[in-house]
């Protein structure tokens, strides 16, 4: 009888030990699942059906986070398809997650990238002066396709009545805020940024008639910048100003004034 009790006690002890070990290893996994379920309640994250692994749950959560991030980016700014992909990559989302997100966005709204291109174009015109072709180039620089960029500018041209003369005038004002330019130099810069010759001429003439530019002041500022910190001869300064398309008279007068100030 005593021997039977000992055997029974031994079997019971082994059973309890096995039960305890199973309980210890099973509890963290159950707790993790419960945590994901709670997160679903508060964060609207879809939890896979019963039987899914923790890895499946984690992937689902990360896909939702990638989609949420993408929609936030698109609500705050405008992105091309490649631009959005690069932004998500920068924020450490994986290629698989990014591809899923972009495909989902395109299914939900097939015209999404055309809308983004139009929005970007409007933002650029509000901030600075762009020519029609300069705006197309800027959109392409932001990774919009040639078709998306052209469609956006054509839409603005057709439905928003963009005044490209006004854009040229705005651009000219901006250039004079940052650079000392001669009349010819300003015309060249406007045409370099793809305004037409007529648009550039009208913009500069409008600046002059509105009293918003003084070419003598422009050449004087440029001359002062050459004299300050440089050991240029008088003739070299004049040559530099002539290279900037100031007239010979403007260059010589400016140099005489600057050198006279330095002597005094």
Position 47 pLDDT exceeds 80: no
Position 42 pLDDT exceeds 50: no
Position 66 pLDDT exceeds 90: yes
Ranges 2-11, 143-152, 155-164, most confident:
143-152
Q: What pLDDT does 231 receive?
A: 80
Mean pLDDT within 77-101: 96
Our count of domains for the chain comes to: 1
Alpha helices in the chain (DSSP H): 2-43, 54-76, 81-90, 95-108, 112-127, 132-141, 146-159, 164-178, 183-192, 197-209, 215-227, 234-243, 248-263
Position 44 pLDDT exceeds 90: no
* CATH classification at residue 244: 1.10.10
Question: Predicted confidence band at 2 (pLDDT cuts at 50, 70, 90)?
Answer: low
Structural domain containing residue 221: 215-263
DSSP 47: P
Please report where in the chains the tokens 């398309």 appear, as a residue.
245
The string of pLDDT tens digits covering residues 163-197 is 999 999 999 999 999 999 999 999 999 999 999 99
Q: Residue 254: inside a domain, yes or no?
A: yes
Q: What is the pTM of this model?
A: 0.73
Q: Residue 243: inside a domain, yes or no?
A: yes
Name the burial class of residue 261, with classes exposed (0-12), middle (13-18) and buried (19+) by CB atoms within 10 angstroms of its CB.
Answer: exposed
Position 147 pLDDT exceeds 70: yes
**89 or 56, higher pLDDT:** 89
Please report where in the chains the tokens 């439905």 appear, as a residue.
159
């Amino acid at each position: 009888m005593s021997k039977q009790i000992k055997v029974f006690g031994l079997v019971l002890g082994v059973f309890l030990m096995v039960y305890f070990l199973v309980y210890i290893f099973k509890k963290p996994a159950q707790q993790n699942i419960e945590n994901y379920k709670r997160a679903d309640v508060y964060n609207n994250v879809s939890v896979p059906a019963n039987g899914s692994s923790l890895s499946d749950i984690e992937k689902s959560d990360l896909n939702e986070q990638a989609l949420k991030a993408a929609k936030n980016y698109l609500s705050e700014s405008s992105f091309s398809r490649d631009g959005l992909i690069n932004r998500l990559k920068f924020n450490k989302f994986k290629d698989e997650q990014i591809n899923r997100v972009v495909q989902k966005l395109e299914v939900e709204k097939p015209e999404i990238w055309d809308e983004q291109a139009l929005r970007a174009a409007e933002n650029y015109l509000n901030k600075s002066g762009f020519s029609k072709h300069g705006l197309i180039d800027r959109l392409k620089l932001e990774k919009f396709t040639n078709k998306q960029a052209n469609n956006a500018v054509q839409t603005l041209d057709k439905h928003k009545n963009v005044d490209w003369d006004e854009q040229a005038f705005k651009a000219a004002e901006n250039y004079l805020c940052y650079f000392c330019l001669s009349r010819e130099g300003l015309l060249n810069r406007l045409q370099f940024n793809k305004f037409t010759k007529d648009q550039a001429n009208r913009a500069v003439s409008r600046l002059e008639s509105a009293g918003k530019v003084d070419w003598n002041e422009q050449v004087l500022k440029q001359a002062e910048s050459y004299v300050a910190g440089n050991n240029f001869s008088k003739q070299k300064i004049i040559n530099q100003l002539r290279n900037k398309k100031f007239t010979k008279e403007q260059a010589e007068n400016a140099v005489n004034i600057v050198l006279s100030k330095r002597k005094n």
